[in-house]
């Protein structure tokens, strides 16, 4: 990440790290998205050149969360996550419910 200028990137909380390691997260109701980064400084979504339609959620904790897509099912989100992870710089992407992004 440092090579791309994300010198302040850091793990937000342990629960997020556990989600990364799950092959298939527990299914809940709502829309799913793939979180690709969480940074303390805002960057242009065009930084993620291979993804179109990246959205930004600014949390009360000061982090900007960058997400891709809106999916009805975990299976759809998992498929998108696999494609995103082909980019080695985004290999730590994970699935999250959109409604949970608003908790931060």
Domain limits of the chain?
Answer: 2-101
Three-state secondary structure of 14-83: HHHHHHHHCCCCCCCCCCEEEEEEEECCCCCHHHCCCCCCCEEEECCCCCEEEEEEEECCHHHHHHHHHH
In this structure, what token pair is assigned to residue 48? 């993620």
pLDDT in tens for each of the 104 residues of the chain?
Answer: 445 566 677 666 555 444 444 455 556 778 999 999 999 999 998 888 788 999 999 999 999 999 999 999 999 999 999 999 888 889 899 999 999 887 77
Q: Which residues pair with 94 in a beta bridge?
A: 35
C-alpha dihedral, 87 to 89 to 47 to 1, nearest 10°: -170
CATH T-level assignment (fold) for domain 2-101: Alpha-Beta Plaits (3.30.70)
């Amino acid at each position: 990440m440092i090579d791309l200028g994300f010198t302040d990137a850091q793990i937000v909380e342990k629960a997020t790290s556990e989600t990364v390691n799950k092959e298939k997260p527990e299914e809940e109701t709502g829309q799913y998205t793939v979180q690709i980064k969480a940074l303390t400084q805002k960057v242009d979504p065009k930084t993620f050149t291979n993804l179109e339609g990246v959205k930004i959620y600014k949390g009360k904790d000061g982090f900007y969360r960058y997400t891709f897509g809106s999916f009805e099912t975990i299976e759809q989100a998992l498929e998108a996550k696999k494609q995103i992870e082909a980019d080695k710089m985004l290999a730590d992407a994970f699935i999250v419910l959109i409604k949970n992004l608003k908790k931060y």
